């Protein structure tokens, strides 16, 4: 390892490529272990590829997450205090859903509100 100080006063470190790659691999492994620990502790979850595909295909996120959680629109309505008709209108794109309604839906579905909102005009 060699230290170099630039004319601007910044200290740089010169490493052999093998040592640099070992450090990068160790950081990647540590990051993966943190993700696995978060999943095991229930702080994060693996999202099945089918759900990702449906979301990327433009399906309504509220419907996709609701179905993934095994809930009916009526279940979500009861848990959020919203009407089943309103949930249906959100899922079909007839209504955007107020911020407070979307927060309640997100909480019920166990996702972040950002997971329920997709590109403008959708």
Residue with the two structure tokens 């996702």: 111
More confident residue, 117 or 118: 117
| Sign, Cα dihedral of 106, 110, 112, 117 | negative
The angle that helices 49-56 and 61-68 make with each other, rounded to 10 degrees, is 160
pLDDT tens for each residue of 12-62: 999 999 999 999 999 999 999 998 898 888 777 888 999 999 999 999 999
What's the confidence (pLDDT) of residue 40?
85
What's the confidence (pLDDT) of residue 46?
81
Mean pLDDT across the chain: 91
What's the confidence (pLDDT) of residue 66?
97
**Nearest alpha carbon to residue 55 among 121, 11, 117, 120:** 117
Q: How do 2-5 and 11-14 pair as beta strands?
A: antiparallel
């Amino acid at each position: 390892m060699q230290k170099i100080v630039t004319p601007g006063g910044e200290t740089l470190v010169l490493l052999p490529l093998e040592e640099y790659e070992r450090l990068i691999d160790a950081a990647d492994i540590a990051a993966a272990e943190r993700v696995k620990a978060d999943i095991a502790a229930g702080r994060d979850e693996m999202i099945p590829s089918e759900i990702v595909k449906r979301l990327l295909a433009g399906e309504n996120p509220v419907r996709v997450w609701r179905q993934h959680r095994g809930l009916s629109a009526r279940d979500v309505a009861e848990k959020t205090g919203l009407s089943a008709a309103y949930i249906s209108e959100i899922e079909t794109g007839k209504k955007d859903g107020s911020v407070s309604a979307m927060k309640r839906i997100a909480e019920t579905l166990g996702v972040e509100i950002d997971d329920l909102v997709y590109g403008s005009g959708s």
